[in-house]
Every structure is written in C-alpha cells, then in structure tokens.
Chains A and B, each alone.
Chain A
Amino acid sequence: DADVTQTPRNRITKTGKRIMLECSQTKGHDRMYWYRQDPGLGLRLIYYSFDVKDINKGEISDGYSVSRQAQAKFSLSLESAIPNQTALYFCATSRGTGRDTEAFFGQGTRLTVV
C-alpha cells in the first residue's frame, strides 16, 4: 500500500460543482501539503498544514479550501469548480523537523472541469 494515498485518481466534473479531493497518509507525519500542477509547469502550493490545528494558505489558495480531519487526513475542496482549475493535484507529507525532512507525494489526482 502507498504511504500517501489520494482519492479519486481521476475525476471529471462540471463547472459550478463542489468537489473534494482526499489525501491520507500512513507515514505518521505532522505536515501535509496540497499542490497543483499545470501541463509543462512546476508545482504550485495551494495550502499546507503543519499539524492538525494549523492551516495555512500557499501561493494560490483562491477558489480552494482545506480540512485537516486528523493527522493522517487532509482534504482539498473546490467550492465551485471552474475550468481553469483543471490540473493535476498532488498531496504530500513531511516530518518537518530535524533530520529526514524529505517530502513524500501521493500518486496525484487528475481533475478535469468541463
């Protein structure tokens, strides 16, 4: 089983619909992140959470919201999806302090808004 699991892997939705992308991890890490990646471009940080009670906006948070339900779960919501939110979304986790702070990524969720 993957250490960081994203569901769904692929999703097509209509403009204006609310959609939730889910991420769960078995690494025991405190820190979780959501990124989006557009074709040919790098990753852009949407939201990040350093622990269950901590939520922070990233580079491009407009149009998105998140929920940290538990240490292991971090969900990303698009309240009213629009076509320019079509992208590949990645969730990541990291230990965050001391040594071995590398980030681990999920398999990605390919979202298409029509």
Chain B
Amino acid sequence: LAKTTQPISMDSYEGQEVNITCSHNNIATNDYITWYQQFPSQGPRFIIQGYKTKVTNEVASLFIPADRKSSTLSLPRVSLSDTAVYYCLVGDRNTDKLIFGTGTRLQVFP
C-alpha cells in the first residue's frame, strides 16, 4: 500500500488558486490517486481521481507527472467555503481498502 505525504496545513485568500501536493514515492502500477474533501463533522466527499497526466472536473484539477511519484490538487479561485481538510489516497481501485491519513487542512481567509 503506497504511503502518502502531504502538508499538514495551508492558508490562502479568497480568489487565489491553491495547489496541494501529495507525495507517493512507492506508488504501484495499478494504483490510482484520489482526493477527498471533508468539512467539519461531515463525512469526506470525493473530489477527483486520476492515473496519469491531468484530470479536470467542475471542482478541481489533478496534475500527475510522468513518474507518478507525486500529484497536485489544484483548486481555482478558492472561496471561504473551500475551507476544509483535503485527503490524498493512493491505491488499486480493485483492492484498495481506503486508508485516509491525516490530510491537509486548508484555511481560506477573506
């Protein structure tokens, strides 16, 4: 199971782009990278998933370099409502048991 490392916390201001990087040096060939968002006292919510290069949806973009040893979640023009904890998970979609870790606490200021 690939271990992930991400910053404990980040601060930003409304309207800025936020990039959260996750390191996963031991990622395996079959592993995908998935990001979740969690607000206080709520369960995590899926944001985005990718395998390589770039994935974009209506909420975020996920950048994965060719060696796949890291990934970056990009949140464009954050607002106060993006204040949350963001988790990076790495695992085989068919066998992974969803280990979450401690995540990155993003605080957005006015």
User: Is B truly associated with A?
Assistant: yes
Q: Which of A's residues lie within 8 Å of B, judged by CB?
A: 4, 33, 35, 41-45, 48, 56, 58-59, 88, 90, 92, 94, 96-98, 101-108, 110
Of B32, B87, B98, chain A has the most CB atoms within 10 Å of the CB of B98
- The majority secondary structure among interface residues of chain B is loop
Q: Number of B residues whose C-beta is below 8 Å from A?
A: 21
Closest A-chain residue to B105, C-beta based? A40
Given known contacts A45-B99, A107-B43, what 19 new A-B pairs fall within 8 Å (CB)? Answer: A42-B85, A42-B87, A42-B101, A42-B102, A42-B103, A45-B100, A48-B98, A88-B41, A97-B93, A98-B93, A98-B94, A101-B32, A101-B93, A104-B46, A105-B42, A105-B44, A105-B45, A106-B43, A108-B42
Contacts of A59 in B (CB 8 A): 99
A45 touches B45 (CB 8 A): no
Q: Which residues on the A side are within 8 Å of B46 (C-beta)?
A: 102-104
